[in-house]
Structure 1
Amino acid sequence: MADPSTYRPRPGEIPTQAGVYRFRDPRGRVIYVGKAKNLRARLSNYFQNVAGLHPRTAQMVTTAASVEWTVVATEVESLALEYSWIKEYDPRFNVKYRDDKSYPYLAVTMGEDVPRVQVMRGAKRKGTRYFGPYSHAWAIRETVDLLLRVFPIRSCSKGVYRRAEQSGRPCLLGYIDKCSAPCVGQIDLDAHRDLAEDFCAFMAGETGAAVKRLEREMKAASAELDFERAARLRDDLAALRRVVEKNAVVLPDGTNADVFAMAADDLEASVQVFHVRGGRIRGQRGWVTERVEDISDAELVERLLEQVYGDAADDAEVVDGNETVVPREIIVPVLPENLPQVQAWLRGIRGAAVNVHVAHRGDKRALAETVHQNAVQALALHKTRRAGDLTARSAALAELTEHLGLPESPLRIECYDISHTSGTEQVGSMVVFEDGIPRKSEYRHFVVRGPDGTGARDDTEAMNEVLTRRFRRHLAEAEGAAGEAVDAAEDGEAVTDATGVPAAVQERRRFAYPPQLVVVDGGAPQVAAAHQALMDLGVTDVSVVGLAKRLEEVWLPGEDYPAVLPRTSDGLFLLQRLRDEAHRFAITHHRKRRAKGMTRSALDSVPGLGPSRQRALLKEFGSVRALRGASPDEIARVSGIGPKLAATIADALQKSP
């Protein structure tokens, strides 16, 4: 680990112009690329006290061994140079958006002598026009099957095409009129290319011209009494309309836009984009990226636009026109910090103006909300799949054992959190993960009482109380369960669980099974309180750590500095899930108690007045306000209310606010 001061440039050496900088590790590999309006001001931020840096930034500057920079003329040039260097060097500390799957495209190989339509994945090829991406390959095949009635272009492989040429007989598609069979000369190559051009124009959104042409031809055939041809054209027209209807109209006709949305937490971000062409959704893509940089949502969006349209620009010659590469309108969740420069860079790719903005109302806002819901679901699915992966869970437990110095793998982990509102309605939560997955039947709530029964003074006292109560119960139940097991064996009980302990005894020993690791939501003070609670009870075989939410730091008892787990660590991901689940469980219970307290009636404080009598009074008078204005004699007329109780009720209501 290098000391940043050893390679810090002198302030006078760093220019104040715009430029791009690179951090390199001791082996010369580029580990981070960034850009700046003012290189001197930006780079000086990296060489302040390491303790004041964000953990991810601190890890980067201590991993690096040198820094270099390149001055450019404009900020737009710095944007383009930063993108090209990120693509060239693939630096480990830069955010990189990677597709969460390989998306299929509908491709037409216009670079071949006889163009072919097919489904393609992976890297784009020169001379091929692409449409999409689509969510599923079957969606492309359904579309192609319908369109081949109207645009019967070749869809066979090279081998099938050569065999047909040699034999002089077309394949099955040629016999059923879903291929014009250029292989056997039923159509010349120029006419077949014109068919392919029409197919591409239809897929690019020019649907109206094809539909109107078929309508004219159908009417002309009908007028000439060629009803057989008119019927075929009618069926072709129906097929085209089905293709058009398959793509839902979401924006006014003619709108070309890409709609981005993002859902993120401290460690990862999920991005979704809907490609709208001609007012219809033509494709969808999604990414999940790790937040390896300490950057804002605005910077994440800027990096996203750089990567998406930078990659598209590299393939501009093989994609269906610049309107497909960069549309005239890009809707984002947050505006990039350098919006004018980003728009200028996109204008250079598209060759025309590009409007990057946030949708605030109307149909575009509604579509942006839909895309956001897709991003939220994609992030949740990603986390669920990662949590459910047995290999990842095993790696997480192994990493926690190694990084926290645990004596054994923490097969049972308990996490604790405190929730309250300004010190009132204090509750604690305990959630349990066994083998890296939640054990919800073992979750517990604690109502924090405090030393005098009115609640704890602060979170540390509340945490100490919760841990004390939980492990005091553990010690008592473990001792009692052992004695009961012996007694049961002597009595000849045969009903036992897998551990050999009678089932009735096992049911009673809810807290007798201790965890190997206790995680508390908080930093050094909360960890110290939890550790002290265990020491006071003589529990020495349970490790304690704390997870501070702001910087995802892991605190151990007695340590002056936190441990920072690798941000790609499955162990950190497991700790984060534990902390978030404990917080959710605590705040849910706290809200229930708070809601119950807020709905308490003034009648609750009247001694001797139970729920049934309260209901009778409210049924008779309608409200507490009306009851407060009644005399003791009027109250005593209610069934079940005697004169003495009526006087008590009237007196209590007069005193209550």
Structure 2
Amino acid sequence: MADPRSYRPQTGEIPVDPGVYRFRDEHSRVVYVGKAKNLRSRLNSYFANPQGLLPRTRAMVFTAASVEWTVVGSELEALQLEYTWIKEFNPRFNVMFRDDKSYPYLAVTMGEKYPRVQVMRGDRRKDTRYFGPFYPAKAIRETVDTLLRVFPVRTCSSGVFKRAERTGRPCLLGYIDKCSAPCVGRISPEEHRDLAAQFCDFMGGQATRFIVDLEKRMAAAVAELDYESAARTRDDIAALKRVFERNTVVLSEDTDADIFALKEDELEAAVQVFHVRGGRIRGQRGWMVEKVEDMGTADLVEHLLQQVYGDGSSSNNQIPREVLVPELPSNAEEMSVWLTGLRGARVDLRVPRRGDKATLLGTVEQNAADALRLHKSRRAGDLTTRSAALQELQEALDLPQPLMRIECFDISHVQGTNVVASMVVVEDGLPRKADYRRFSITGDAARDDTASMYDVIQRRFRNYLAEKTGPVPQGMNPDGADGGGNGGNTNDGTATVPLADTTTATTRQKFAYPPNLVVVDGGQPQVHAAARALKDLGIDDVFVIGLAKRLEEVWLPDSDFPVILPRASEGLFLLQRIRDEAHRFAIAFHRQKRGKSMTASALDSVPGLGPSKKKALLAHFGSVKKIRSASLEELQAVPGVGPSLAETLQRTLAMATTDGAAAAVAPAVNMATGEILDS
């Protein structure tokens, strides 16, 4: 593995023009291809402090042994050259959206004497009608199999057709009436061509005409008491309707568009595309890709379009008039020109903001979100994958014992108010929600994140030590939160057990078993605080690490440098899943606590309203919202509330509503992570 300093070019040697660059390894294989508006600025970013790079980018620069670049005249030329090199070299560190197959189309070879219906890929042929693209190809075959009942067009290959002509015996489809058998003269070439034309008309959107004709034919057969023919026609109508409903119009019939959507996290992205042709959804396709560098949605969209459509001479067959995306790439104008050049006609690249297309984009986004969630759940639920993840972590952290139980802690607050913490538990790689705990943090412990982390770790493991030696001391909650913690999480289905009903035996089962590993959400400061809390308690058999969210680094208490796990590591994926669950759990408790404090403060600000009257008002109306909307007469119906207090109450709550509306414009932010808590 090469040191990036050994091949870093001098800053003055790198031009400031747009261009494309290639990183090569020690065997001269291209490992990464990229483009830049300013080559000097972009390449220098790779040779900055390695600890500041994303793990996958860091792996790339240490794998490479040299870098070279080519200056081009414009961003459009850079886009074209970048794609050419990616296709030529297939670099291991570039994000890849394409697979090894082109889009499948339903084709009718009208140029032949006996037209044939078949599934075709690749370049288009002369005198052939195409419908699609469809995905998967199974969808085309199901459609064709259904339509052959009504339009028994030839589907066999040339070899099978010629053999049937020689022997005078049709293939199996001819015997079961799913082929009109022109090979043995059951139908003339002209009649078969008309049948193929009707098939094309139906696929082209004229389904209603054929269904109406069949319904008239069925009615005529019934009138003539020919019930057998009427039953066959009825089944034909049902077959056409099945195909017709499968291709329901979702947009105007002159709409040809590909609609892309993405759902991403720090490591991976799920991509979905709906192919709409003639206003109908003809196919759907999806990819799961690993994010190999720090790129946003716009960059992912650029790479997606570049690789999906840049397929040489056949790409113009795939590009529709409209390409709808969730976010425009930074070089949207150049990308549109490039797509237009490939298609040979204008391509409208845009983000739908309203109407049916925006609604359909929302559906595609939901499909992408479902695909990402399913992908993650399959990884998390697989026993082999979980075992591999735990083994990877144990080896990477050089731990002496298997990770049977992992606990993760996270702090959540808004500018130091309503400070809370969460503890989530994973045993054998699976969440154990019955052991989740929540902590309220007050006093000096709430002054910053490190103090809060120290406090939470101390409280959790004081309970552990107490349960090892005897009953839980009076005044200490069994959930590990001294005088203010909350056992369980009602939002997750975990029961909140009243303290008076909780026995010592129950608490011993939950907390006498310590974790093998403590994970804290944060970097060195949080890790040092957690390690100091354990040391002050005399606990030396529990290991502590921190997971820093920005670069996904694993920090150890006794090291000045983080452990960098491979980007696609199952161990890193497990840590991220635990950290994200602790983060979600903490935010849920923070919102609940903040909501209660806001409710209480609204009534606390009313002059002359004491605790007993406040309790009476809440018991009578049920919520502050209903108190605010109550009339003076309704307020005076509460015992102890007279005319003067009712007027004061109404006036104060109205002023609080006006002030709160202005405050609500700014979203609440978790200062520990920067995440917006409420939209």
After TM superposition, is the score higher than 0.5? yes
1:119-161, Cα deviation, whole Å (9 max, x unpaired)? 68xx858869673433583x44442233214432234578976
How far apart are 1:575 and its partner, in Å?
0.6
Q: Confirm whether residue 615 of structure 1 aligns to residue 619 of structure 2.
A: yes
When residues 629 and 20 of structure 1 are mapped into structure 2, their CA distance, relative to the original with a 3 A threshold, is same
RMSD: 4.3
User: Residue 522 of structure 2 aligns with which residue?
Assistant: 522
- Which residue identity lines up with residue 412 of structure 1 in the other structure? R
Equivalences, count: 604
2:108, 2:200 within 8 Å by CA — same for their partners in 1?
no
Say whether residues 1:36 and 2:26 are aligned partners: no
**Who is 1:251 aligned against?**
251
Residue 511 of structure 2 aligns to a residue in which SS?
coil
Amino acid at match of 2:451: E
> Relative to structure 1, is the Cα distance of residues 77 and 115 closer, same or farther in structure 2, using a 3 angstrom cutoff?
farther
SS in 1 for 2:151: coil
C-alpha deviation, 1:33, in angstroms? 0.5
Question: Could you give the per-residue CA deviations for residues 277-314 of structure 1, whole angstroms, max 9, x where no partner exists?
Answer: 11111111111111111222111100000111123x45
Give the Å deviation of 1:337: 1.1
Give the CA deviation at 1:396: 0.8
Match of 2:91 in 1: 91
CA contact (8 A) 1:411 1:434 kept: yes
> What residue ranges of structure 2 are gaps of 5+ in the alignment?
473-502, 654-679
Alpha-carbon contact 2:55-2:565 (below 8 Å) kept: no
- Hey, what's the Cα distance between the residues in 2 that align with 1:624 and 1:357? 46
> Quick one: structure 1 residues 507 and 85, their matched pair in 2 at CA, closer, same or farther if it must change by over 3 Å?
same
Displacement of 1:472: 1.0
Partner of 1:382: 375
Q: Alpha carbons of 1:608 and 1:186: their partners in 2 closer, same or farther (altered >3 Å)?
A: closer
Would the aligned equivalents of 1:98 and 1:289 in 2 still touch at CA under 8 Å? no
Taking the aligned partners of 2:551 and 2:513, their CA distance within structure 1 comes to: 32
Opposite residue 63 of structure 2, the aligned amino acid is: T
Q: 2: distance between equivalents of 1:586 and 1:157?
A: 63
Alignment of 1:457-496 (within 5 A): 457-480=447-470
Q: Secondary structure at the match of 2:510?
A: coil
Which of 442, 445, 448 in structure 2 is aligned with 1:449?
442
What CA distance in whole angstroms lies between the structure 1 residues aligned with 2:92 and 2:519? 30
- Report if the CA contact (8 A) 2:54-2:293 is conserved: no
CA contact (8 A) 2:324 2:350 kept: yes
- Residue of structure 1 equivalent to 2:205: 207
1:508 to 1:5, Cα distance in 2 relative to 1, 3 A: closer
Written as runs of structure 1 = structure 2, the 5 A alignment for 1:122-521 is: 131-134=132-135, 137=138, 139-155=139-155, 164-165=164-165, 167-187=167-187, 196=196, 199=199, 202-203=202-203, 206-208=204-206, 239-240=239-240, 242-311=242-311, 313=312, 315-316=314-315, 322=316, 324-451=317-444, 456-480=446-470, 505=505, 508-521=508-521
TM-score, structure 1 normalization: 0.80
Looking at structure 1, the residues matched to 281 and 632 of structure 2 have their Cα atoms a distance apart, in angstroms, of 63
**Which letter does structure 2 place at the counterpart of 1:532?**
R
Query: Kindly tell me: are residues 612 and 73 of structure 1, through their superposed partners in 2, closer, same or farther at Cα, counting changes over 3 Å?
Result: closer
8 A Cα contact 1:211 1:240, kept in partner:
no
**Are the aligned partners of 2:471 and 2:504 in contact in 1 as well (CA < 8 Å)?**
no
Closer/same/farther in 2, CA of residues 539 and 162 from structure 1, 3 Å limit: farther
> Any conservation in 2 of the 1:617–1:638 contact (CA below 8 Å)?
no
Q: 1:36-89 CA distances to partner (integer Å, 9 max, x unpaired)? A: 334344323333343444443333222210012234454333323322322232
Percent identity reads 58
Separation in 1, partners of 2:621, 2:184: 95
Tell me how far apart the structure 2 counterparts of residues 163 and 190 of structure 1 sit (CA, whole Å).
21
- The one-letter code sitting in structure 2 at the alignment partner of 1:475 is L
Q: d(CA) in 1 for partners of 2:55 and 2:44?
A: 17
| TM superposition shift of 1:520 | 0.4
* Partner-residue secondary structure (3-state), 1:33: strand
Counterpart residue identity of residue 467, structure 1:
I
In structure 2, give the amino acid aligned to 1:131.
G
Measured in 1, the distance between the counterparts of 2:162 and 2:260 equals 44
Distance 2:170 2:64 in 1: 63
Tell me the distance in 1 between the aligned counterparts of 2:323 and 2:269. 19
Higher mean displacement: 155-164 or 283-292: 155-164
- Do the aligned partners of 1:478 and 1:509 also contact (CA within 8 Å) in 2? no
Runs of 5+ unmatched residues, structure 1: 317-321, 483-502
Letter in 2 for 1:133: F
In structure 1, how many angstroms separate the alpha carbons of the residues matched to 2:217 and 2:568? Answer: 66
